[in-house]
Every structure is written in C-alpha cells, then in structure tokens.
Chain A
Amino acid sequence: MKLITVAGPPSSGKTSVILKTIAALGLPEGSVGVVKFDSLTSFDHQRYDEQQIPNQTAFAGKICPDHFFVSNVEGAVEWGMKKGLSVLITESAGLCNRCSPYVNAILSVCVIDNLSGVNTPRKIGPMLKYADIVVVTKGDIVSQAEREVFAFNIREVNASATVLFVNGITGQGAFLLARYWQDALDIRTLRDRKLRFTMPAAICSYCTGETLIGEMYQMGMVKRMEFDDV
C-alpha cells in the first residue's frame, strides 16, 4: 500500500486537492482511502463519502494534534492494509506552524493557498520546509505575478521541494500531482520509521489540565518571553 501524508493550514484546500488527485489517479473505486486527522470538528467525511472513498476521521480533542497524529498514524496504516487499499492518504489539519506530520521516506505533501499572503511560506516552518511536494491552491483567483512570487518564497524556505499549482475546484494540475503519487513508497507498516522533525514539546502544567494563570501554576517546560526594558 502506498502511503501519502498531506498537511496544510486550515481551509488551504487539502480535501479538494485530495479528491481531484484521487480522480486523476483513476484507480478502481474503493482502492484509495483517506484518514483525516483534525482537532475538533470536520465535515470532510461527507465529501469523501459522496465520492465513495473509504475514510475515517479522528479528532485530537484536547491532545496536541501532532502528538495525536504520531500515536495514531500506525493504526491508520493497519486500517488501510485491512481494507485492502492500494493507496492511503492521511489529511492533517489543525496543526500549528511549528510542526510537520512527515515521516522519512513517506511522500510528504504540504498544501498552502495563494490567498494567505506572500510571506506565509516563510512563516509556516517545518510543515513546508520538510515537504517533498508543495501544492499551491487558489491560483485561479490571484495574479500570475503573485503566483510566481509565492513560488519563489516557497523555494527560499524549501529549495528542494517540487512546487505544483493545483486548482482545487477544477482539478487543473491534479494530474501532475497524481503522477508523483503513483511513485510513492509501498509499505506494510510504519513501525520503526522516523519522523522528519521533532514534535513540539508539551509537558507543562497546562498540558495536564491546569487553567489558572500565574507563575505559581506553571511547571515543567515553560518558555518565557523577554520584553524590552522600559
């Protein structure tokens, strides 16, 4: 089974791109599945159901979405194997700018949209920096020049990634993305594979349910801001 991890900021077009790319893959119905990781709510399953795409959704709830992802992605692979899928896609939303749910040797796709501002690629961090393919959506509504500047800013952060423009609505460009997906690594399990980047540390008192504000309530790993003297 080929595994592809897709991540990106909220509403950047991940589901739209996944749907169009699955269509472009042209594989038999039911052989490509999706596991959606999100934090609180998601309506993506309706769109996958509509296209008869086997799918599962998992909510991180109060757990950090990245930690939740690593502790469940192996289970996702097991589910995909049992279902007899030939391609499994994970869609991760609700992540912070500090993380990236990418695993060594597993095809990693970051989806960002043109509308989020030209400097966004410089702010997203590891999610963009460690991706193999960066998909840029919503190019249909911004100027060609902005698309070029956007792609340039992506290259400044990740010079080795392939940058592809995909229109999530018409599917333009999904065809090229599908060609890359066809070459993704075949795996049976993820056991013993390594993440590309460490997950954010989360071991302070607030991680374990503290809600009161004040230095006396802070324990464990705390990072303090330094302000200018006044």
Chain B
Amino acid sequence: MSALDYVAEVSAVPIGDILRRYPLAADYLANIRLSGVDETKTLPEILEDVDEDMLEEFGLDREEVIFHFCAFIEAFSRVKRPDEAISSITILGGRNKTGRPEMVELTITPGEVVSIVGPTGSGKSRLLEDIECLAQRDTPTARQILINGSVPDADKRFVAGGKLVAQLSQNMNFVMDLTVQEFLEMHAKSRMIAGSAAVVEKCFAVANSLAGEKFTLDTKVTQLSGGQSRSLMIADTALLGSSPIILIDELENAGIDRREAVKLLVGNEKIVLMSTHDPLLALRADKRIVIRNGGITKVIETTAEEEETLHKIEAIDSVLLDIRNQLRGGGIVAKESIPEFQEI
C-alpha cells in the first residue's frame, strides 16, 4: 500500500478510529501541535478549524498535513520483513599496522562467544568497529566481513546500518528521565513488539537477577548504580534488542554476574564478540582472538584444561572480591583473608 491509499481512509474515518487502528499516528499529530483533537471528526474536518498560520510554521498546508500523515502511517505500517536470520559472520584478514598481511579466516555462528585479547592500543576496538560497519577492505585494516558466507549487499551495509549490530560498553549510561518500566515500554514501542507487557516484565526480572542490589520498576533509570544499569542494558539487549550480533567493549568490574550475563546473550542465539582484559571473561569464551600491532595473530580455542583452570581463577577472583568487600565495608584487610601463594 502507498501513502495515497491511506488518504481515502483518513478522509472518511473519524480520527479517533484512525488512531485506534494506527496508535503511532498520534505522535505525528503531537509533533505538529495537534494532540487532543475531537475524536468524532475526520482529519480534514479538524484541519478546517486549524489556523493556517500555525500549519505554515511547520511549512505545511492542510493538504500536505493529510498527505504527510498518510505517509507516516504508511511508513510505520509497512509489513516488517522478519529480521533476516544470520547464520554466520566471517572475518577475512587484512593487514596489521605495519602493513603485513593478516593471515586469518574466522567464521562465527550464533550461540558462539568470542573474546578479543591483546595489549592496550593493539586494535581490539578497531576489530569491533570493522565488524560494526561490515568492512569491505575499505577501512585502515583492509579486513573484509562476510555475512552468511557472502559479501553483504550495500543495502544491508548502509541502510540497515547499526541494525545488525548492537554495542555495549563500559562508559555507556542512561540519560533518559524515565522509570525502568517507562524505559522498557518505550523501547518495546520503538520496536513495535506485540504483547510487550510480558517482554517488559521478563526483561525486568532478568535484569534484577544479574544485578547485585535489586531495583524496582519505578526506579528512575538515571538513578540506577553502574552495575544495575549494566544489568538492565544487557537484559534489554538480549530480550528486547533486534540485533543478532552483539559487540561488547570492556565490560569488566561492572559489579554484575558476568557469567550469567554472557549465558543470557548466548542463550538468545546471538553472536557475541567481546574485547576484554578480564581473564574470567576471556576464558569463558569458546574462542579467543589474539591481537598484536593491529593484526590478528592467533585464534585460540579454549581448551578443556583451560576450562578447568577457570575454577581456580574464579577462586582467586572471589578472594579479590572478598578483599574489595572488606574495604567497602570500612574494614581492615586481614592477612588471613588472603590465601598463601607461592612467592616468586
């Protein structure tokens, strides 16, 4: 259907019914200061009584309002193509900072977690960036990214830009002046998710299970602690986000259950790549990419032995957490709380 097809409908049907059929259309009217109109009248009838000068301020005349209103309805009623399934992404090597070829071809499938490790400045964030823009040998690294084994068409790359990939990073905050509930509902509305109440409920419950301290639905998102914010962002990305690929840039020390967070994302059939300096996260991945001097030098599969060391590392981690908590609680760190390590 084109915008013109809606003109007949909008001209004949009272605006109240139109708004019930297309709830989002209320936003269009609000944007041109036409909210709270007489619901029994049609839009053309309403416009008869509207001051032409007011419409002119928006650069519109009555006819244009009707047409733009219809175009708006059309744009937001387009049958949404089901989000195309992503079965894999492939990274084809380019060159490192000194121009040496990067000998790598790595394919990642949904449900897989890949960590990216390497010294500061080595190019971890750059790799995530290449994936985000679906690089086609046209970024400084000359890498190429394939989707489902082939070159993504320009349309996917440019128009869908950002749709395929969601990003989470340490310095992200909430800035909206909304409660947790309003925030989740607003996100659900923008995704035009049907039955959003249940998703909102679930998202809230999951976020709370990841966070150390619990929060309520009527907490303002800006008042959440760092850990609580991160938990809500992760739950929201996993359950309400549409992007099949999730890039995480440094999520350490966020005060959340990192293991559960990663599980949650993977459980929702996402492809997860995370740049990290945290051994616990790095080893929890299926594979890790090692970067040096701007190039991928190795791809290591996490071995069974490494997985076993995870328990030990977790033990060390919990010792550290303990000390941290002692300090937080205003205590004095007791020598006994630190296990004996072999002196080097």
Contacts and interface: CB of A to CB of B under 8 A. Distances in A.
A176 interface: yes
Contact of B241 (A122, A141, A145): A145
A165 B162 contact: yes
Size class of B's contact patch? 35 or more
Contacts of B58: 125
A141 B76 CA distance: 28
B175 A146 contact: yes
Interface in A86-126: 98, 114-115, 117-118, 122, 125-126
Contacts, number: 104
Contacts of B138: 175
A144 B175 contact: no
Interface stretch (A35-43, A45-53, A63-71, A151-159): A151-159
A155 B169 CA distance: 25
B89 to A, nearest CB: 18
B186 interface: yes
Contacts of A139: 167
A179 B190 contact: no
Contacts of A172: 129, 132-133
B158 A179 contact: yes
B186 A118 contact: yes
A211 interface: no
Interface of B: 24, 27-28, 30-31, 57-59, 71-72, 75-76, 125, 129, 132-133, 138-139, 157-159, 161-162, 166-169, 171-177, 183, 186-187, 190-191, 229, 232-233, 236-237, 240-241
Interface of A: 98, 114-115, 117-118, 122, 125-126, 129, 139-149, 151-153, 155-157, 159, 162-165, 170, 172-173, 175-176, 179-180, 197-198
Closest 8 CB pairs of A and B: A152-B190, A159-B75, A145-B187, A149-B190, A144-B166, A143-B233, A145-B236, A172-B129
24 contacts: A117-B177, A118-B176, A122-B27, A125-B58, A141-B172, A142-B172, A142-B174, A142-B175, A143-B229, A143-B232, A143-B236, A146-B175, A147-B162, A149-B187, A155-B75, A156-B72, A159-B75, A162-B158, A164-B162, A170-B125, A173-B132, A173-B133, A175-B138, A176-B157
